[in-house]
Amino acid sequence: MGSRQQGGRRGRGGSGEGRQQSAGTRRGGAPRAENGKKAAPGQGRALRSAGARSKAGNAAGGRPAGGRTAGMYIEGRRAAAEALRTGFSVKRALVAEGEDRDAVLSKLVTDVHAAGIPVLCVPRAELDGLSSHGAHQGIALEVGAFPYAELADVIANAGEGPALVVVLDHVTDAGNFGAIVRSAEVVGAAGVVIASKRAAEVTVATHKTSAGAVMHLPIARVPNIARALEELKGAGFWTVGASEHAEGVCWDAPLSGRIALVMGSEGDGLSRLVLETCDDLTKLPQHGKTESLNVAQAATALCYEWLRQNSR
């Protein structure tokens, strides 16, 4: 792609090459573009046998005192099935009592047993208590600490050609974070970069809202977003920040090739230093009266614009 001055504050040449390190950076504000079925034979037995084992487990201290659970959980049937499919490390499964007539859940519990994972039947209220959205669908998997990647892992995953890395400048809402990870994974991004402090991290809510995408995409935590952008530049990425103060819209922005798409926080948008570190700024076109999209919606739209430009 030839050098061009479109949709942003300065043009660029190639896919991350010939970057112009102009000092004429534009300071902009936050990107407001944010913020039953009959059981199959044998399936009912899976839940009933799990219930029998749970009594022994509870007597032996299998469930924490007071009926409360501790740890990190993946909740919901789709996320649980994805964890099993990908071989994600699971300590045990908590299943709601009295769900043995649910063929889908019973089949999932059979798969859990087949994977050698202990199953504990608990009152539905206990799952309600650990659920982030009350949408556990009768199952939660207890897992260990999330295995975050290094920035170098994300860069290595990008390979040598066109690639997308989504960088989040202190996005704090777990729902937004999970939705962004899901969109990034769907379009084929190489990874997501987040701040190690004052930012949403991978939790029960993230597993749920990302529909299990966090298990397929490297997520790197870094102490300094601006410094991470400089490292991405060194790996041939053109850093593009989403800001309502951009001069042009994403349809005209050079988003082909190796792009690090930077999204700001829900309240403050891009921080000053991150804004100054970005090579370019862009925004979504807008014709209605609503002030803006939220960060997850905006990130999805921009991820797909990157995909469109790289599919030509």
Domains and CATH numbers, the chain: 43-143 (3.30.1330.30), 151-309 (3.40.1280.10)
Beta strand pairing call for 90-96 and 139-143: antiparallel
For 84-132, write each residue's pLDDT tens digit. Answer: 887 778 899 999 987 767 888 989 999 999 999 999 999 988 888 887 6
Return the pLDDT at 263: 97
User: Do residues 251 and 210 make contact, with C-beta atoms less than 8 angstroms apart?
Assistant: no
b/e 185-223 (16+ beta carbons within 10 angstroms → b) = bbbebbbbbbbeeebbbbbbbbbbbbbbbbbebbbbbbe
What residues of the chain score a pLDDT lower than 70? 1-71, 100, 132-133, 204, 208, 211-212
